Amino acid sequence: MLVLRPIELNDLNPLMDLLADAGHGLTSLPRDLAILEKRIRMSIASFADPLHQGPNGEVYLFVMEDLNSGELAGVCGIISKIGGFEPYYFYELKESIHESKMLKLKQTIHALHFYKTHSGPAEICSIFLSPKFRNSQNGRFLSLSRFLFIAEYRNRFEHHIIAEMRGMVDENGYSPFYAAVGQKFFHIPFTEADKLSMVNKSYVEDMLPKEPIVVELLPSDAQYVIGRVHPQTEPALKILQYEGFQRTNLLGIFEPGPIVKAELDELRSVKDSKKMVIEDIVNDEEEDFKNHHPHDPLRDMYIISNAKSEKYKCCLGKIKIVNQKVIISLESATSLRVKVGDSVRFVSLK
For the chain, the structural domain boundaries read 2-268, 273-348
Note the pTM of the prediction, 2 decimals.
0.88
pLDDT for the residue numbered 307: 79
Please calculate the CA angle 240-242-246 and round it to the nearest 5 degrees: 65
Q: What was the pLDDT predicted at 193?
A: 84
Tell me how many degrees the CA angle 111-201-248 measures, rounded to the nearest 5: 40
pLDDT, residue 288, reads: 60
**Distance between CA 124 and CA 240 in Å, rounded?**
10
Compute CA 96 distance to the chain's CA centroid, rounded to the nearest angstrom: 32
Which pLDDT score is estimated for 116?
Answer: 87
Going from the C-alpha of 146 to that of each of 95, 106, 143, 182, 303, the distances in angstroms are 35, 46, 6, 32, 10
Coil, strand or helix at 15: helix
Catalytic sites, residue numbers: 230
pLDDT along the chain (350 residues), means of 10: 95 93 73 90 90 84 94 95 82 93 91 89 92 88 95 93 91 88 89 78 85 95 94 90 95 92 96 95 69 59 86 93 92 94 93
Which CATH number is associated with domain 2-268? Answer: 3.40.630.30
Q: What confidence score (pLDDT) does residue 74 get?
A: 95
pLDDT of amino acid 118? 80
Residues in the chain: 350
Please give the pLDDT value at position 25: 57
CB atoms within 10 A of CB 77: 20
Topology of the domain covering 273-348: Barwin-like endoglucanases (2.40.40)
